[in-house]
Structure 1
Amino acid sequence: TYRWLLEMLANQGYAVIATPFVNTLDHLAMAKNVLSSFDSCLNLIYAQRILRKKSLPIYGIGHSMGCKLHLLIGSLFSLERAGNILISFNNSAARDAIPLVEQISPVIKVEFTPSPKITNRLIQKRYQIRRNLLIKFKDDDIDQTLRLSDLLRLRFPDLVTVKRLNGNHLTPLGQDINWPVGKVYTPIDAIGQWLKQEVYRDLNQLKREILLWLNPLAQIS
């Protein structure tokens, strides 16, 4: 899950609204449902006065398929966003994204709605979120961030930031490991702490880049 990443943002003072979704072939319907869930939750938060200031900036953050949903939302619906954080964008065709899809349906062509080609066209012509952080991991064979950056820079040449970080497509899903240390610090404890540091080096770099983009003057630990 994205628990570590979202809790990290919350610990820095950001209010986090997570909107889970069920994968289907109809990505447009998924985008509508995500936006509806977000708006309903935000309205409830305001109604219960959990947040009282309604002028707070709103940022979207998505990983892989989540990027496509944010891009569709920003292209097809009227809304205000201070920016979007798009991690490991993937806009593959169904035959590439779903194992054995061609064997399951060899006669009828199976494709997402909208298709990758139409999605790119929508982004190029209608995407309205001006400020964007795009993150690409070096060991990610299915990432399509560079193609996305070309499309966004046609619309907002000075407001698109691309970061290439160490890691792979699953890096944002990393979880914090609580390694309990006994009363006596042993060599095994030292190895455990070293492994934890190595495993979460990429995840901490991701955290740092996100927080600095959100607030360039922030003090990041």
Structure 2
Amino acid sequence: MSTFKRISDVSCQWPSRPVGLIELIGGSYISIKPEVTYKRLISCLLKKNFAVHSWGYIPNFDHQLQANQAWKQFRQSRKILEKRIGLIPKSIRLGHSLGCKLHLLAPDGGRNCDGLVAISFNNFRADKSIPLLRKMSKKLNFQTEFSPSPSETLNLVREHYEQINNLLIKFKNDNLDQNDFLLKSLKERSADKSKIMNLDGNHLTPVSVGLREKLLKANLQNSLKYENINLIVDQIIHWEILTS
């Protein structure tokens, strides 16, 4: 049994004796209520005695502003948890799709965690991420781009992101994944320990089970997607920085 607490926009789920903390930022437009859309992923982490803080948001064009907001609210939530249980042994940032980018843009450069798990990192231009925007911009003769832009984001990773422990997870049937570009930028930094792995699945593998459980109330324990989420959790909890 876990304790649920909402702190600002962070959904906090705490087992009685956490062995570590996972700070989750999910993908664009599926993270308004991450405790629902990532239900299965979160429940698996809770069963392994990890506390899970998941940030709920509606994406906008200013990704740096949202990264700052997430970081501040995660910090506030962590302080409250530490008052309850004491010092947290390990802290892992977990991002999916756009959530990876927001973690990478955190004001502390990743210093105040033990590592980042980036699932299906996505860093497309605004007009590719939002198809209607391309049509509108051509018709109305204006240009809109995310801040920072895709190229600026990778430059910031190379120049300001300091966390050397990064586990990049990509799926074999995911044409939205850009983890290869992220890995290249991470490896251009000194002392980098980042690594990438390929798993079966697609861009929505981390979220689709939770959505179906909510909308269809179906038992999917034997489904392939269910097994893939278990595999993701196993990779996270057995990552060497959690056992070193």
Superposition TM-score, scaled by structure 1 size: 0.82
Deviation of 1:36 (Å): 1.2
| Runs of at least 5 residues in structure 1 that lack an aligned partner in the other structure | 181-191
Instruction: Output one character per residue of 1:69-90: Cα deviation in whole Å (capped at 9) or x when no partner.
Output: 01111xx436411100000000
Name the amino acid aligned to 1:52: G
Name the amino acid aligned to 1:170: L
Name the amino acid aligned to 2:227: R
Deviation of 1:99 (Å): 1.9
Structure 1 residue 117 corresponds to structure 2 residue 151: yes
Deviation of 1:217 (Å): 6.0
Matches for 1:12-23 after TM superposition, within 5 Å: 12-23=48-59
Structure 1 residue 77 corresponds to structure 2 residue 111: no
What percentage of residue pairs aligned between the two structures are identical? 32
Deviation of 1:102 (Å): 1.8
Contact 1:85 1:133 in 2 (8 A): yes
Deviation of 1:133 (Å): 0.4
Instruction: Output one character per residue of 1:90-110: Cα deviation in whole Å (capped at 9) or x when no partner.
Output: 000001001210222321101
Deviation of 1:200 (Å): 2.0
Q: Partners of 2:209 and 2:240 in 1: how far apart?
A: 22
Q: Partners of 1:119 and 1:158 in 2: how far apart?
A: 18
Deviation of 1:56 (Å): 2.5
Name the amino acid aligned to 1:63: H
* 2:9 alignment partner in structure 1: none
Q: 1:162 to 1:111 in 2, by over 3 A?
A: same
Q: Partners of 1:72 and 1:64 in 2: how far apart?
A: 14
Which has the larger Rg? 1
Deviation of 1:13 (Å): 1.2
* 2:73 alignment partner in structure 1: 37
Contact 1:87 1:135 in 2 (8 A): yes
Compare the two structures and name the one with the higher strand fraction. Answer: 2
Aligned residues: 200
Deviation of 1:156 (Å): 4.9
